[in-house]
Amino acid sequence: MPELPEVEIVRQSLSKKIKQKKVQKVIIRNRNLRFKIPLNFANFIEGKKIIKVKRFSKYLILCLSSGCYCLLHLGMSGTLHIVNKNKKDIITNTSFYNSPILPKKHNHVEIIFENLKIIYNDPRRFGFFEIVGNLYLLKKRFSNLGPEPFQSRFNYEYVFSFLKGKKRNIKNFLLDQKFVSGIGNIYANEILFLSNIKPDKKGYLIKKKECKKLVVNSRKVLSNAIKKGGSSIKDFQNIYGEKGKFQKNFKVYERRGLSCKRSRCQGTIQKKIISNRSSFFCNICQK
């Protein structure tokens, strides 16, 4: 599943291509995504200008000239492809997941502009589109989610208070979108390594100084991933022919059996399944 950095890369790609452009037509080939696309969905989009492309957590937000918002979540396998009318691009995928070229199957939604169109492809159909009527409702829509790592209210006091007395492990907390929004399995592994914390350590055992590390390293890891274009786990490219490069910086993820990259550490990277997710950690320097 795309995590915050990968969704941010998609947002940047979309913003460069469709910002201030008017939607001419919407074609829905399959309404049966995770949530069924409403019958009046096209009416909210057609004839509207895309004022801005924003993101919160793993959600893309198309800000429409009508004052409405179109939310898009890519789910497990959703991808957005940008297809130009006047030239045939070999690479159309805005992200680094699944096919770099436009697949022939599972193209569920097309949003058509003057010289290009966006095609939403999703084999597993866990993604979804949603219309939100105004800014108040948009804020309400995300009110059940925790802050993003970059927001000021995600600080060590918040983290320490949230974890206090909790018996769940810290890895599960980092993946809990009600605690912090946007962190997925790959980056949780990397954040915990930089923070010298084992993924199965209980929340109530996390000290204040460790909470500070979690805040600082969450921002550090995600910022670095965005700068490097995300993680191209399957070696695919975005629409500019660029590969995500953050996977070259993995300290623990998918490094089972290899030596710890931390200087002077003689540890070996271990793998453990926690809540059905693969967790990677150093057996010596993470405690």
- By annotation, the residues acting in catalysis are 2-3, 58, 277
Rounded CA separation 5/58 (Å): 9
CA distances, 287 to each of 173, 201, 205, 282 (Å)? 17, 8, 11, 9
In the structure encoding, which two tokens stand for residue 39, read together? 């019958």
Residues in Cβ contact with 282 at an 8 Å cutoff, skipping those fewer than 6 apart: 193, 252, 260, 262, 265, 267, 268, 269, 270
Q: Are 108 and 41 in contact (CB under 8 A)?
A: no
Closest Cα partner for 154 from 173, 138, 141, 136?
Answer: 173
Pairing of strands 59-64, 69-73: antiparallel
End-to-end Cα separation, the chain, in angstroms = 28
Distance between CA atoms of residues 7 and 96, nearest Å: 10
Residue with tokens 């805040």: 215
Rounded to whole angstroms, the Cα distance separating 232 from 95 reads 9
Angle in degrees, CA 102, 4, 56, rounded to 5: 100
